[in-house]
């Protein structure tokens, strides 16, 4: 087997060889702990016949670990300076294709159809650039990519929000947006010392298993997400107050209270106490009354 890229010595040697300087603006913190990366691949349950998409391969530390298990790997890297480096470090793995593109601009389902014709399942793995964690996750989830497991490293605080349950500080519109599409679980927390350069915050590995069907059925998905977002707009405000700001002056507080009463939801509650089921009921009730998107 080839030597791991993810050791302090080898990583520094590669960076020196190419005179590479980290760009903070691209969230470049590279992992120098091969075991941790193996752990990500194991958590994603990558098998011989599987295809894997990686976001942000950097110098190929995680890519190589995935490549040792998967049938085909597609890695999206935005930083053009890394393309020649990856060509070199990933040379022993011809079944890896690196695409020099912003993953947010990629038509993932089309690319999967083109490159993953012979694979059994598709997984997504990444040590995500922290400055755009949420847009990347929402891009993947909303695009309808038929992935089985998505295992990524994110800031610990974001991991907590992704997997949060009602009534906790971390629970918010992001928890619901993600849990609508997937079952989320924080796998483990990760210290800053596994990266160079070290980030300012702790990290965590999170696993999302795609749901075949959303856990709730709503009349309008886009309206549901709007109602959820509005309900958390000001966390300290009650549901009625937040919904009033959302619906505007044409609805009085008592109109809104009446709509909530009809579905047995107390308007004095705060968004953070509502379950996804309750948000679905709430959104359908408002949708029916207001008849709007
Ligand atoms: N996978 C490597 C590792 O674990 O050592 C590097 C991870 S580093 C946290 C994030 C990587 O994502 C960087 O290589 C960065 O250039 C890349 N990146 C940042 N924004 C991106 C985007 N919008 N699309 C694709 N790659 C991006």
Distance from the Cα of residue 218 to its chain's centroid: 23
- Using the mean position of ligand 1's atoms as its centre, give its distance from the Cα of residue 135 in Å: 14
H helix and E strand count, the chain: 12, 9
The answer, yes or no, to whether any atom of ligand 1 lies below 6 A from the CB of 60, is: no
- Using the mean position of ligand 1's atoms as its centre, give its distance from the Cα of residue 22 in Å: 11
pLDDT digits (tens, 9 = 90+) for 18-66: 999 999 999 999 999 999 999 999 999 999 999 999 999 999 999 999 9
Nearest CA residue ID for atom 3, ligand 1: 30
Angle between helices 173-181 and 276-290 (to 10 degrees): 100
Contacts of residue 70, Cβ cutoff 8 Å, sequence gap at least 6? 46, 47, 48, 50, 51, 52, 95, 123
Nearest CA residue ID for atom 19, ligand 1: 26
The answer, yes or no, to whether any atom of ligand 1 lies below 6 A from the CB of 127, is: yes
The answer, yes or no, to whether any atom of ligand 1 lies below 6 A from the CB of 151, is: no
Contacts of residue 81, Cβ cutoff 8 Å, sequence gap at least 6? 18, 20
Pocket test of ligand 1: the residue of 58, 102, 126 to mutate, having most ligand atoms within 8 Å of its CB, is 58
- Domains (range + CATH), the chain: 8-210 (3.40.50.150), 221-290 (1.10.8.100)
The answer, yes or no, to whether any atom of ligand 1 lies below 6 A from the CB of 78, is: yes
Average per-residue pLDDT in the chain? Answer: 96
Distance from the Cα of residue 50 to its chain's centroid: 20
The answer, yes or no, to whether any atom of ligand 1 lies below 6 A from the CB of 31, is: yes
* 3-state secondary structure (DSSP) of residue 249: coil
pLDDT digits (tens, 9 = 90+) for 193-249: 999 999 999 999 999 999 999 999 999 999 999 999 999 999 999 999 999 999 998
The answer, yes or no, to whether any atom of ligand 1 lies below 6 A from the CB of 104, is: yes
Contact by Cβ (8 Å): 124, 56: no
- Using the mean position of ligand 1's atoms as its centre, give its distance from the Cα of residue 177 in Å: 23
Contacts of residue 66, Cβ cutoff 8 Å, sequence gap at least 6? 41, 46, 52, 54, 73, 125
pLDDT digits (tens, 9 = 90+) for 88-123: 999 999 999 999 999 999 999 999 999 999 999 999
- Using the mean position of ligand 1's atoms as its centre, give its distance from the Cα of residue 2 in Å: 23
Q: What is the pLDDT of residue 250?
A: 87
Contact by Cβ (8 Å): 96, 76: no
- Using the mean position of ligand 1's atoms as its centre, give its distance from the Cα of residue 199 in Å: 14
Residue 293 has pLDDT above 60, yes or no: no
- Using the mean position of ligand 1's atoms as its centre, give its distance from the Cα of residue 198 in Å: 15
- Ligand 1 atom with minimal separation from the 56 CA: 12
Nearest CA residue ID for atom 8, ligand 1: 28
Contacts of residue 68, Cβ cutoff 8 Å, sequence gap at least 6? 1, 41, 93
- Using the mean position of ligand 1's atoms as its centre, give its distance from the Cα of residue 29 in Å: 8
Considering only CA atoms, give the Rg of the chain.
22
- Using the mean position of ligand 1's atoms as its centre, give its distance from the Cα of residue 180 in Å: 26
Q: What share of the chain in percent tops pLDDT 70?
A: 99
């Amino acid at each position: 087997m080839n030597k791991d890229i993810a050791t302090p010595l080898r990583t520094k040697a590669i960076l020196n060889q190419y005179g590479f300087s980290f760009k903070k603006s691209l969230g470049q913190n590279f992992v120098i702990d091969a075991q941790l990366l193996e752990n990500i691949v194991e958590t994603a349950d990558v098998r011989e016949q599987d295809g894997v998409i990686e976001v942000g391969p950097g110098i190929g530390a995680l890519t190589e670990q995935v490549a040792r298990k998967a049938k085909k790997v597609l890695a999206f890297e935005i930083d053009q300076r890394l393309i020649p480096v990856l060509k070199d470090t990933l040379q022993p793995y011809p079944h890896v294709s690196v695409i020099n593109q912003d993953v947010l601009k990629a038509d993932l389902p089309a690319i999967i159809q083109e490159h993953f014709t012979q694979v059994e399942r598709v997984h997504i793995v990444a040590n995500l650039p922290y400055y755009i964690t949420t847009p990347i996750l929402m891009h993947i989830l909303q695009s309808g990519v038929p992935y089985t497991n998505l295992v990524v490293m994110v800031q610990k605080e974001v991991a907590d929000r992704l997997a949060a349950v009602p009534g906790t500080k971390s629970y918010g519109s992001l928890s619901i947006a993600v849990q609508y599409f997937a079952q989320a679980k924080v796998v483990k927390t990760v210290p800053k010392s596994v990266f160079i350069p070290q980030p300012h915050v702790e990290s965590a590995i999170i696993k999302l298993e795609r749901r075949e069907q959303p856990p709730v059925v709503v009349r309008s998905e886009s309206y549901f997400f709007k109602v959820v977002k509005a309900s958390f707009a000001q966390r300290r405000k009650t549901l009625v107050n937040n919904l009033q700001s959302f619906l505007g002056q044409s609805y009085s507080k008592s109109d809104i209270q009446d709509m909530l009463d009809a579905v047995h939801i107390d308007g004095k509650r705060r968004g953070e106490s509502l379950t996804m089921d309750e948000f679905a009921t709430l959104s359908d009730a408002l949708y029916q009354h207001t008849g709007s998107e």
